[in-house]
Amino acid sequence: MVDTPNVITSRIIDTQALRAIVADVGLDRLMDEMIAGLGRAYREFDESLISTVDRTGFTYDKPDLGAVEWAPAMVTGERAVVSTNGRHPSNPLQRNLPTTMRTTAVYDTTSGRLLTLTDGTFIGAIQSAATTALATAELATLDASTVGIIGAGAQAVAQLHAVSRVRPITKVLVFDADPAVAESFERRSPIDCEIEVVPAKKIDAKLVAVADILCTCTTVEPDSGPVFPDTMHLPWLHINAMGADGPGQTELPLSLLNRAIVVPDNGSQCGARGESQAIPTDPDGPELRELVRFGGSQFRDELTVFDSTGWALHDLIGVEMLEAHAERIGVGFEFEIQPTPRDPFDPYELLR
Amino acid sequence: MVDTPNVITSRIIDTQALRAIVADVGLDRLMDEMIAGLGRAYREFDESLISTVDRTGFTYDKPDLGAVEWAPAMVTGERAVVSTNGRHPSNPLQRNLPTTMRTTAVYDTTSGRLLTLTDGTFIGAIQSAATTALATAELATLDASTVGIIGAGAQAVAQLHAVSRVRPITKVLVFDADPAVAESFERRSPIDCEIEVVPAKKIDAKLVAVADILCTCTTVEPDSGPVFPDTMHLPWLHINAMGADGPGQTELPLSLLNRAIVVPDNGSQCGARGESQAIPTDPDGPELRELVRFGGSQFRDELTVFDSTGWALHDLIGVEMLEAHAERIGVGFEFEIQPTPRDPFDPYELLR
């Protein structure tokens, strides 16, 4: 026993720090770094080094439909990352808050102490979108220029941003069940003003028919999908199915899903919560990690679906990126939250 | 959509705030409040209002034997509490840190936002010990005066404190595998100096034979129990089996367990991780919530075991108590960790 004070602190990356990081790095570079970081993580994924737990948690319908869920990940011998994810679709209209609000905590797996606490909402949006960019980079036709968006909330903004980093997008057709949300999409989009944004009043055949890439980003309720009909589409259509993930929550027409090459981000989780839950057998496409490792250009002329449910692996990469930038530019603050007595066997020492 | 800034903050109860709370309230009153609060929670427990998840997480042996685990609880329509618990038995000797280090986060289940982050180590020790006091108050003989302690680390300190709040303890026999830890127990104990503390060099028959109450608080490794032999004991011996809870980690001799009335804090969890895992059929005693509701004086002359594994319900009570005291005396601080854009559909607004 060492008889010295042993103050340990944890780092908070608060909103001000996050703002400073994004201002310093820039959105495009953050997205590109995330795409590269996640690409490496998927390529090098080794389940003897990294453990992830599929998302689980509380879901409820009081006072409104919602969920608080967690999907922890661990780098063995180093750190465990626990993101706690709230999804409350009534937030935007009732509370002027985003549907998704999450925090991410990092624990040292040598001592168990809390290393970092940060917002996970912003970086989570970047992570999810960047994952989609990995799939899109492999699966979409190389000169894909037209994107269709169904569900134009917060997720769609990051989604279009990510896709525009890997394909030469020039036109976006945007539908949302709330026309005001479709209308405001252009203002919210961080993309090049060369891209033409066209709000759509309804999901007409045209939106599906002309899209090279279709992104579904809805909060579809259980058993109320699909969110668009199985109509004519380009033979090389690539779909990113990003939206609501839970039992019974599927966005795509089953007939379309059945004839597409389906790539899940995480097979077991997609089978329970993603589009893949509607498919009686396993998805026929490779998992994203196989796709990233071995390439997917052979699928570029075919109908493909990326089934995105989120994977705890992403949180490892996202929070590391935030921590590295916070450290580099010196933002965030340290605070002492875990009392560390001189005598580790004395839980009451802090009172004396 | 409301076009006003919508800053939300979260409350941190840091070490300084915790110290202020304990100084203001006092240890005995904190323990008594916790015993009363947990008693109410157990008596009034209604599974249609409160959901709990059994503890699960990562366990590993690199760089040392350890675990990071979580056991969330929710009050439906109000809040979810997620405690993340680190257990690293090598901490005291290798890092001068407590074996158990935990943090507790509280989320609003209306919006999903983070309400509170606090240390959970200190209050967790109080919670566990207070739970044991509930069991001891029902099961131990009324004039129990002699306590035997096996495993004299941090947990044992709070344990003796709690037991001394419900029975007229005058003597404590203390064993630890590390004699220095047994020796330092008296210094670390917050108890009345009227109580005589006697360190024991070994677990001799006497320690078990004279105890009215025996508390096992060890970090026994899987399949290396029991931590004491099944020798002569008083017919009314009450045992609080507090220590290591994991597959294969049992502290008591099976023969003793088989003839005792065993009360689990949480039947399903105890069957997987507690002493009860060694019993082929269900424990014969009531669960703690039945015991607290209906009383247990009929067991006071018999050999009884309280099988403690911790239950997420405790965290609801513990963190509420900390929050209430922090609020009352005005300690802790608010910080903005979750960005709240004017437009909830704009994840990138914070950058502009």
Q: Do B113 and A86 touch (CB under 8 A)?
A: yes
Which secondary structure element, helix H or strand E, spans residue B261, and what is its range? strand B261-264
Asked if B18 is an interface residue toward chain A (Cβ–Cβ < 8 A), one would say yes
Place of tokens 């209906």: B294
ipTM (interface pTM): 0.92
pLDDT computed for residue A252 by the predictor: 94
- Between CA A247 and CA A208, with CA B346 as vertex, the angle to 5 degrees is 60
Q: Would you call B268 an interface residue with chain A, using a CB distance cutoff of 8 Å?
A: no
Q: Closest partner residue to A12 among B190, B337, B349, by Cβ?
A: B337
Please report the pLDDT score of residue B193 as a whole number: 63
Tokens of B1: 């959509």
Helix axes of B15-25 and B27-44: crossing angle, nearest 10 degrees = 90
Q: Are residues A117 and B117, on separate chains, in Cβ contact within 8 Å? A: yes
Q: Which residues on chain A are in Cβ contact (under 8 Å) with B63? A: 77, 110
Q: To the nearest whole angstrom, how far is the Cα of B264 from the nearest Cα of chain A?
A: 24
Other C-beta atoms within 10 Å of A210: how many?
17
Cα-flanking dihedrals φ and ψ of residue A25, to 5°?
A: -85, -40
> From CA A98, how far away is CA A90, in angstroms rounded?
9
CB of B48 within 8 Å of any CB in chain A? no
Contact B51 A58 (CB under 8 A): yes
Q: Look at residue B282 and give its three-state secondary structure.
A: coil
Q: How many angstroms from the chain centroid is the CA of residue A103?
A: 13
Where is B70: in which H helix or E strand?
strand B66-70
Is B55 within 8 Å of chain A by CB?
Answer: no
Measured distance CA(A86)–CA(A108) in Å, rounded: 24
The verdict on whether omega for the bond into residue A222 sits within 30 degrees of 0, i.e. cis, is no
The reported pLDDT for the residue numbered A247 is 85
Q: What pLDDT score does B227 carry? A: 93
Residue pairs spanning A and B at CB distance below 8 A? 292
pLDDT of residue A318: 98
The pLDDT value given to residue B2: 46
Burial of B301 (0-12, 13-18, 19+ CB in 10 A): exposed
Q: Lay out the sheet containing B171-175: strands in order across.
A: B196-200, B171-175, B146-150, B213-216, B238-241, B304-307, B261-264
Q: Please state, as a whole number, how many other Cβ atoms lie within 10 Å of the Cβ of residue B205.
A: 12
- What is the pLDDT tens value at each position of chain A, 352 positions in all? 444 557 889 999 999 999 999 999 999 999 999 999 999 999 999 999 999 998 899 999 989 999 999 999 999 999 999 999 999 999 999 999 999 999 999 999 999 999 999 999 999 999 999 999 999 999 999 999 999 999 999 999 999 999 999 999 999 999 999 999 999 999 998 766 678 999 998 887 789 999 999 999 998 888 888 999 999 999 999 999 998 788 888 999 999 999 999 999 988 888 888 988 888 777 778 999 999 999 999 999 999 999 999 999 999 999 999 999 999 999 999 999 998 888 999 988 876 7
For residue B308, the number of C-alpha atoms closer than 13 Å in the C-beta half-sphere is: 28
Question: Does domain A139-310 bear CATH number 3.40.190.10?
Answer: no
In angstroms, the Cα distances linking B246 to A254, B93, B155 are 44, 22, 16
3-state secondary structure of B139: helix
What's the rounded Cα separation, in Å, for the pair B321 and B210?
Answer: 37
Inter-CA distances, B115 with A283, A340, B11, B118, Å? 40, 24, 6, 10
Fold adopted by A10-123+313-351: ornithine cyclodeaminase, domain 1 (3.30.1780)
* CATH 3.30.1780.10, chain A: domain bounds: 10-123+313-351
Rounded CA separation B332/B58 (Å): 30
Instruction: List, for chain B, all residue ranges whose pLDDT scores fall below the cut of 70.
Output: 1-5, 191-193, 351
Three-state DSSP class for residue B43: helix
Residue of B nearest to A100 (CA): B112
User: Measured between alpha carbons, how far is B241 from B274 in angstroms, rounded to an integer?
Assistant: 8
Query: In chain A, which segments carry CATH 3.40.50.720?
Result: 139-310
Contact, B313 vs B83, CB < 8 A?
no
In chain A, which residue's Cα lies nearest the Cα of B184? A345
Helix, strand counts (H, E) of chain B: 11, 16
Residues 138-197 of A with CB under 8 A from B: 152-155, 157-158, 161, 180-181, 184, 188, 190
Query: Does residue B85 contact residue A80 with C-beta atoms inside 8 Å?
Result: no
Report the alpha-carbon distance of residue A82 to residue A118 in Å, rounded: 11
pLDDT per residue as tens digits for the range A278-317: 887 777 789 999 999 999 999 999 999 999 999 999 999 9
At a CB cut-off of 8 Å and minimum separation 6, what does A58 contact?
Answer: A67, A68, A69, B51, B53, B72, B74, B80, B109
Q: B70 and A72 in contact by Cβ < 8 A? A: yes
> Measured between alpha carbons, how far is A133 from A139 in angstroms, rounded to an integer?
10
B95 → closest Cβ in A22, A111, A121: A111
A residues 90-149 near B, CB within 8 Å? Answer: 91-93, 95-103, 105, 107, 109-114, 117-119, 121-122, 125
The pLDDT tens digits for B307-350 are 999 999 999 999 999 999 999 999 999 999 998 888 999 988 87
3-state secondary structure at position B78:
coil
Nearest to B109 among A12, A60, A70 (CB): A60
Residue of B nearest to A11 (CA): B337
Bridge partners for A196 per DSSP: A171
List helix spans (H) across chain B. Answer: 15-25, 27-44, 91-95, 121-139, 154-166, 179-188, 205-210, 254-259, 267-273, 288-294, 312-329
Query: A114 and B99 in contact by Cβ < 8 A?
Result: no
pLDDT tens profile B65-104: 999 999 999 999 999 999 999 999 999 999 999 999 999 9
